[in-house]
Amino acid sequence: MEKQKKQSQFKEVWRRLKKSKPAMFGLIVLSLLILTALFAEQIIPYKKALEMNAAIRLKPPSLEHIFGTDAYGRDLFARVLHGGRRSLLIGFGATAGALFFGWIIASIVSYYGTRVDNLLMRLMDIIAAVPMTLMALAVVSALGPTLQNLIIAIAFARIPTFARIIRSSMLSVVDAEYIEAAHAGGAGALRIILKHITPNVSGTMIVQTTMATAQLILIAASLSFLGLGVQLPTPEWGALLSEAREFMRTTPLLMVFPGIFMVLTSLSLNLLGDGLRDALDPKLKS
């Protein structure tokens, strides 16, 4: 019975989402980007992104190199595609991490009430007191600039925001009586959290996930820009933009292509997020 309810709920949301053209645009573009990231190796091999050739550096787009070549003569298309793999990995990875830990903290806090709330949320405040980019910057410069550390650092900086938002969402849905009633039904803490509380805030969580991914991809790019991103010569959109910066006036396409992909990713995530928010909003009538 519950499963059926869930399925029709899902269908309803999907129907509403379909009606929004921008959201569908976002969904399609995002799916395409994810597909190209997953199949990047098949589209163009990774070694093309590393192969240097001084003779053909900074060349404009041609049949052989459809985006042109970078300052080392490497194929820009390959670098953008494989860079996308890493950027998306960092974005989704960091978001997943921040979401997971933020959800745990929010759940604990909204279930167990004020005392725990104060303690944990103050802890969150401490981390949040430092602006995100700088927090991630400090952590990654301490751990060392590798892909994993980058994900950890950025996720860490984002946990407080997730915790705060999910918590406030949970609190508006749940109160002491609600929990008591569930208890009376014979449920344990984890069960209540998973089956009763979380589904009610899943809408917020989903929307926040898409927004956060866009934001974290940009933060990762900023860190690469400041020199603390992935290790060279690994491509990543922020690193590509950083490399392209000094040639902005002579070979602007170097900045344009990675920039376009970044903007498209961010845009599609935001559009999708907006659409999801509208589709999941219970107050909206069709």
Partner 1 sequence: MWKYVIKRLLLIIPILLGVTILIFFVMELSPGDPASTILGAGATQEAIDMLNKELGYDRPMLTRLGSYIANVFLKGDFGNSYRSRLPVIDSIVVSIPISLRVAFFAITFAAVVGIPIGVLSAVKQYSLLDTIPTVTSLFLSALPGFWLGMMLLYLFALKLGILPSYGVETWKGFILPTISLGLPYAAQEMRFTRSSMLETIRSDYVRTARAKGAAERRVIWRHALKNALLPVITVTGTIFAAMLGGAVVTESLYSIPGLGSLLVTSIKIKDTPTVMGCTFVLAAMCSLVLLVVDLLYAVVDPRIKAKYSK
Partner 2 sequence: MKRKLFLMAVITLILSLLLGCAPKAPDPTGSQPTGSKPTGGDAPSRDSVNLALVGVVSSLDPSTTALTVDLELFHQIYESFYYVDDFSVLHPRLALSHTISEDGTVYTFKMREDALFHNGEPVTADDAVFSFELAMQSGVMSPYVGVVEKVEKVDDHTVAITLKQAYTPFLTNSVQISIINKKAYEEAGEKFGSTITGAGTGPYKVISYDGNTKVELEAFDKYYRGEAPIKYATYTVMSDVSSGLIAFESGELDFYAVPTANWDEISNNKKFVSRLNPTSHISYMLLNPASGLLQNEDIRYAVQYAIDRDAINLLAYEGLAVPAYHMMHPDYIFGATDDTFKFTYSPEKAKEHLAKAGYPNGVNIGEIQYTTANYFPKIAQTIHSQLAAVGIECEIVGGQTSDLVTGWRAGEFNALISGFNAILDYDYYTRYTSPAVSTSFLKYQNTDYDADWVLEMYNKGAAELDPEKRKEIYEELENFIAGTACYVPVFFKSLPYAWDADLNVELDLNYYYLYEWSWN
Nearest Cα to Cα of residue 276 among 2, 7, 16, 79: 16
Q: Is 29 in the site for partner 1 (CB under 8 A)?
A: no
Contact flag: residue 151 with partner 1 (CB under 8 A): no
Residue 143 interaction partner, one of partner 2, partner 1, none, beta carbon < 5-8 Å per kind: partner 1
Interatomic CA distance for residues 62 and 69, integer angstroms: 9
CB closer to partner 2, 115 vs 249? 249
- CB atoms closer than 10 angstroms to residue 1: 5
Candidate list 55, 129, 176, 184; residue touching partner 1; CB under 8 A: 129
40-50 residues labelled b (16+ CB within 10 A) or e (exposed): beeebebeebb
Burial, 131: exposed, middle or buried (Cβ in 10 Å; 0-12, 13-18, 19+)? exposed
Site string for partner 1, 184-223 (x = CB under 8 A): ------------------------------x---x--xx-
Site string for partner 2, 246-275 (x = CB under 8 A): xxxxx-------------------------
Contact between 61 and partner 2 (CB under 8 A)? no
- The answer to whether residues 254 and 244 touch, using CB atoms and an 8 Å cutoff, is yes
How far apart CA 218 and CA 28 sit, in angstroms, is 21
Among partner 2, partner 1, none, residue 71 binds (CB under 5-8 Å by kind):
partner 2
* The only residue of 33, 49, 80, 139 in contact with partner 1, by rule CB under 8 A: 139
Looking at 49-57, 97-105, 130-138, 263-271, which segment touches partner 2 (CB under 8 A)?
49-57
Query: With binding defined as CB under 8 A, does residue 249 bind partner 1?
Result: yes
Task: Please name which of 137, 279, 111, 70 lies closest in space to residue 193, comparing C-alpha atoms.
Answer: 111
Residue from 63, 142, 176, 184 that binds partner 1 (CB under 8 A)? 142
Contact 153, 219 (CB under 8 A): no
Under the criterion CB under 8 A, does residue 42 sit at the interface with partner 2? no
Closest CA to 224 of 117, 118, 150: 150
Which of 22, 45, 61, 145: binder of partner 2 (CB under 8 A)? Answer: 145
**Shortest distance, CB of residue 241 to partner 1, whole angstroms?**
6
Give the dihedral sign, CA 168/174/180/183: negative
- Inter-CA distances, 278 with 13, 30, 275, Å: 9, 18, 5
Return residues touching partner 1 (CB under 8 A): 22, 122-123, 125-134, 137-139, 141-144, 214, 218, 221-222, 225-226, 238, 241, 245, 248-249, 255, 259, 262-267, 270-271, 274, 277, 283-284
